[in-house]
Amino acid sequence: MMWVPGFAADYENWARLAGPEWGWQALAPLFGSTNISVAEQRDPRPLTSTFLHAVTEAGHRVEEANSAQPDGFTQTRVTQLKGARHNTAQAYLEPAKSRANLTIRTGAHVERVNFDRQTATGVSYLVGDQRFEAAARKEIVLSGGAVNTPQTLMHSGIGDPT
């Protein structure tokens, strides 16, 4: 449930590789507009406070969470709503699931994001042994977690090709 959007240096490297729209300055404003509820921890573990106090005694800084260029320690923010986990399905799918222009596929494995030059146009996915493509008119939200989202991006030609 930790909310850590990443470091500015990572985004700037993506901007160098894929264009300025992938840079920190372009994307950072979007972090605040996510539908996912991001909050301070309501009941952090006591050891967290002890740890943060110890790092200040050792001469390190305790800073605001998710700064562009972190140089210290922080108490992480979390994706929670009223003290319970808040995930992408609750934030994006639940409010939209009754739309006539939405089809929900379960048991599907996204292989890659499809592009027209630098614009994402849809996704290719498998259900069993059958391959399908879904087109997007406006945007694509990848929500494969810490492993599958980068994997999907790399399979899509985004990132280090080696």
> Residues 4, 43: one domain?
yes
Q: Is residue 128 domain-shared with residue 73, that is, in the same domain?
A: no
- Tell me the per-residue pLDDT of 123-146, one tens digit each, with 9 for 90 and over: 999 999 999 999 998 888 887 878
Query: b/e for 69-101, b at 16 or more Cβ within 10 A?
Result: eeeebbbebbbbeeeeebbbebbeeeeeeeeee
Over residues 62-83, the pLDDT tens digits come to: 998 888 788 889 999 999 998 8
Statement to judge: residues 161 and 93 lie in one domain = no
**Helix residue spans in the chain (DSSP H):** 8-18, 24-31, 46-57, 88, 94-96, 145-155
Same-domain pairing of 86 and 26: yes
Q: How far apart are CA 34 and CA 88, in angstroms?
A: 10
Using pLDDT thresholds of 50, 70 and 90, give the confidence band for residue 84: very high
Instruction: For residues 73 and 110, state if they share a domain.
Output: no
Average pLDDT value over all residues in the chain: 89
Final residue in a domain of this structure, among 81, 98, 115: 98
Q: Which of 75, 98, 121 is the last residue of a domain?
A: 98
Whether residue 93 is found in the same domain as residue 135: no
Which of 79, 98, 117 lies at the terminal end of a domain, its last residue? Answer: 98
Pair 15, 84 in one domain: yes
Range of the domain at 130: 105-162
Domain match, 64 and 140 both: no
pLDDT at position 162 over 70 = no
**Of 156, 144, 112, 108, nearest to 129 (Cα)?**
108
Helix (H) / strand (E) containing 39? strand 38-39
Give yes or no: residues 28 and 78 share one domain. yes
Question: Do 135 and 69 share a structural domain?
Answer: no
Residue 4: is its pLDDT beyond 90? Answer: no
Report d(CA 141, CA 58) in Å as an integer: 41
**Is the predicted pLDDT of residue 108 greater than 70, yes or no?**
yes
Task: Please state the domain count of the chain.
Answer: 2
Do 50 and 19 share a structural domain? Answer: yes
Do 121 and 150 sit in the same domain of this protein? yes
- 103-141 burial, b at 16+ Cβ within 10 Å, e below that, comes to eeeeeeebbbbbeeeeeeebbbbeeeeeeeeeeeeeeee
